[in-house]
Amino acid sequence: MKNSRPRKPTREEKKIMSNNGLIANNWLVVDDPELESYLKIVSKSSNKQRIIDRYRKAVSAPTKAKRQPKNK
């Protein structure tokens, strides 16, 4: 079966993309029935294709270290 045309991601798919460190507005989703636990996506600008894991845990952003006040 031929792959379907790219479509806008759903809200749940946007969460999956952000968990994988991607900006969801830059990607479209291609439905592929063979990939149940993965999501096949295509870049809007460069047409690059990626396959990402649907069940990957969220990537935590590094936190900035607070400055310690200098003792005088």
What is the separation, in whole angstroms, between the first and last Cα of the chain?
73
Structure confidence at residue 28 (pLDDT): 96
Q: Which two tokens stand for residue 67?
A: 């400055």
Structure confidence at residue 70 (pLDDT): 75
- The residues, ordered by sequence, that sit 6+ positions from 71 with a Cβ below 8 Å of its Cβ are none
Structure confidence at residue 14 (pLDDT): 94
Nearest to 27 by CA among 51, 3, 55: 51
Quick one: pLDDT band at residue 30, thresholds 50, 70, 90?
Answer: very high
Which amino acid appears at position 17 of this protein?
M
